[in-house]
Amino acid sequence: MEILCIGNELLIGKTLNTNAHWLAKRATSLGINVKRITIVGDYVEEIVAAVKEALQRRPQFIITTGGLGPTFDDKTLEGLAKALDQKLAVNKKALEMIIKKYEAYFGRKMRKRELTPARAKMATLPKGAKPLFNPAGTAPGVLINVKGTRLAALPGVPPEMEAIFEEYLAPMLKKAAGKTAFFERSIHVNGIVESVLAPLIDKAMRDNPHVYVKSHVYTKAKPESEGKRPGIELHLSTTATNAEIAEKQLEKTEHRLISLVRESGGKTDAEKL
Amino acid sequence: MEILCIGNELLIGKTLNTNAHWLAKRATSLGINVKRITIVGDYVEEIVAAVKEALQRRPQFIITTGGLGPTFDDKTLEGLAKALDQKLAVNKKALEMIIKKYEAYFGRKMRKRELTPARAKMATLPKGAKPLFNPAGTAPGVLINVKGTRLAALPGVPPEMEAIFEEYLAPMLKKAAGKTAFFERSIHVNGIVESVLAPLIDKAMRDNPHVYVKSHVYTKAKPESEGKRPGIELHLSTTATNAEIAEKQLEKTEHRLISLVRESGGKTDAEKL
């Protein structure tokens, strides 16, 4: 799977990209492997390029965030249409969704002149696209099948993005993952530098290639460095179809690492051994 | 400029990408335009592909984060060498930096056998690369000139990344930007939906094309949507070489927007008018 986030606010450092983080975490927890995240600005040509490049890598899923609203800088639908060489047209179902939202807001029937270009824009989808109802906002999400790839466009407002993902995409991802799931655990070690850990990690991974071990130096209150005895997290993960076997694999590597770290004079937070 | 973040932890949603956010904000504040951010995992081929693609777009700068440490999964230098078709070799200056770090840590001279492969790895750079001293950790950063692009690789540990950026890259970016700087301000509006704002933003931008206006629906404590009278931030920005003129441009558009919003029945937080 790939994630494509669209929005100048991400490129000027105004907004922290919690959407990519949330999507990556959720997809991983559903057993789907996220291979790349791309962030581009609100420019049609940038969106077109990023979508085309992602499609060429043939992921099972592409999820985009942002650019679905009523303002001029919301250019995702235009970008998708261009990238897929499809015409844009008002989608009846999407229009119904939007009209209902405004009628609920006004508390009365919508007048024809109230269907402004800005509002109709949110229902103007690439041909063949399916709108996804937005329970937390107005602009619908969009789902398009492009050969082997399912491309979903979600709004950038986090609760709207999350709501549409949970309703429509989570079940789809879960089904695609089948029994495959992601399992992880962490050990925290201390009193050992990363360069001493490196060959120990190599050993543990040679002994059990099913488990991927990655070290993360963590800095708490103030900047700490390898030279200052920082804390290091060893993150163990594996993808498997059987939870019991996966947990046993993780446990095996965890025990191995704990012994190796202790032999080298390090301390761990584990008392399980 | 482009940013390339390397690390599985970002793709599984374990780590929130504060590095990209920090770099984007700093580069923007220095007057540099960030056009794309890419995140890939700890795989040489993924790094090679992302670096080659970025170079083809010919940005003035590419800054990578992550993958410079001593463990097996630190693959940025290998990826850079492959992408640039350069050999990897121990860089004398980088090696000196690393040895000094360990000697400070040990409090004595380093023995030959203590220069383990894991430690030498951090000094094994693509030919032609220049090491950048890491004041907050061990692994040096790396700077490589590739035709018109300056490619800098920084560590993934935030205080290390930030320290090397400030020391070596900030002055370089500032020089490249010249007098160009980024100016911004925000207005918060309420009691008006985004679809009503859309044509007002169009109007304000037609009147003053120097200022870019982007609306951001903000959701506070609980999910709010367009249909529920949420707050909306209007973010005004411009890039200019003269601060006084830039501030005047922003002020002009701010006043225009405030009038337009009030005429449409919306409220603003501005009392400047």
**pLDDT score, position A219:** 74
CB A236 within 8 A of CB A211: yes
What pLDDT, in 10s, does the model give residues A221-247?
A: 334 444 444 689 999 999 999 999 999
Helix (H) / strand (E) element for B230: namely none
> Angle of helix B76-84 relative to helix B44-56, nearest 10 degrees?
50
Closest CA to B21 of B181, B205, B158: B158
What pLDDT, in 10s, does the model give residues B90-134?
A: 999 999 999 999 999 899 999 999 999 999 999 999 999 999 999
Amino acid present at B28: T
Residues ≥6 apart with Cβ < 8 Å to B256: B203, B204, B207, B208
Q: How many CB atoms lie within 10 A of CB A269?
A: 13
Residue A193 has pLDDT above 50, yes or no: yes
Interface contacts (A, B; CB < 8 Å): 231
Strand partners, B190: B267
d(CA B133, CA B94): 8
d(CA B208, CA B231): 24
**pLDDT score, position A224:** 42
Residues 101-140 of A with CB under 8 A from B: 101-102, 104-105, 116-119, 121-122, 134, 136-138
Residues ≥6 apart with Cβ < 8 Å to B196: A118, B264, B266
What pLDDT, in 10s, does the model give residues A208-223?
A: 999 999 999 987 633 4
Query: What is the dihedral sign for C-alpha A98, A101, A106, A110?
Result: positive
**pLDDT score, position A271:** 53
Q: Is the ipTM of this complex over 0.90?
A: yes
What pLDDT, in 10s, does the model give residues A144-175?
A: 999 999 999 999 999 999 999 999 999 999 99
Residue B272 has pLDDT above 60, yes or no: no
Residues 12-51 of B with CB under 8 A from A: 12-18, 20-29, 34-42, 46, 50
Average pLDDT over residues A31-60: 98
- With tokens 């989608």, the residue in question is A91
Average pLDDT over residues A96-120: 95
Q: Does B183 touch chain A (CB under 8 A)?
A: no
d(CA B254, CA B174): 28
Instruction: Please report which residue ranges of chain A form alpha helices under DSSP H.
Output: 8-11, 18-29, 44-56, 76-84, 92-106, 117-121, 158-164, 170-177, 194-207, 243-263
d(CA B51, CA A29): 28
- A-chain residues near B228 (CB < 8 A): 105
Residues 198-227 of A with CB under 8 A from B: 198-199, 201-202, 205, 212, 214-217, 219, 223-227
Cα separations in angstroms, B182 against B28, B204, B241, B250: 6, 19, 9, 11
Closest CA to B60 of B177, B150, B153, B155: B150
Average model confidence (pLDDT) for chain A?
94
Average pLDDT over residues B255-270: 92
d(CA B110, CA B102): 7
List of domains in chain A: 2-177 (3.40.980.10), 181-268 (3.30.300.330)
Query: What is the dihedral sign for C-alpha B106, B111, B117, B119?
Result: positive
- A-chain residues near B72 (CB < 8 A): 198, 201-202, 205
B157 to chain A, closest Cα gap in Å = 7
Amino acid present at A268: T
**pLDDT score, position A121:** 97
Tell me if B12 and A182 make a contact (CB, 8 A cut-off). Answer: yes
Task: Describe the strand order of the beta sheet including B267-268 as a list of residue ranges.
Answer: B212-218, B231-240, B181-190, B267-268
Average pLDDT over residues B59-69: 98
Closest CA to B237 of B270, B200, B204: B204
d(CA B155, CA B162): 9
Return the residue of B nearest to A13 by Cα. Answer: B25
Percent residues over pLDDT 70 in chain A: 95
Amino acid present at A179: K
CB B131 within 8 A of CB B141: yes
Tell me if A15 and B216 make a contact (CB, 8 A cut-off). Answer: yes
Q: List phi, psi (to 5°) of B192.
A: -150, 135
pLDDT category of residue A67 using cuts at 50, 70 and 90 = very high
d(CA A10, CA A64): 14
Q: List phi, psi (to 5°) of B100.
A: -60, -40
d(CA A106, CA A126): 29
What pLDDT, in 10s, does the model give residues B210-252?
A: 999 999 998 763 344 444 446 899 999 999 999 999 999 999 9
A15 to chain B, closest Cα gap in Å = 7
What pLDDT, in 10s, does the model give residues B152-207?
A: 999 999 999 999 999 999 999 999 999 999 999 999 998 899 999 999 999 999 99
**Residues comprising chain A, all counted:** 273
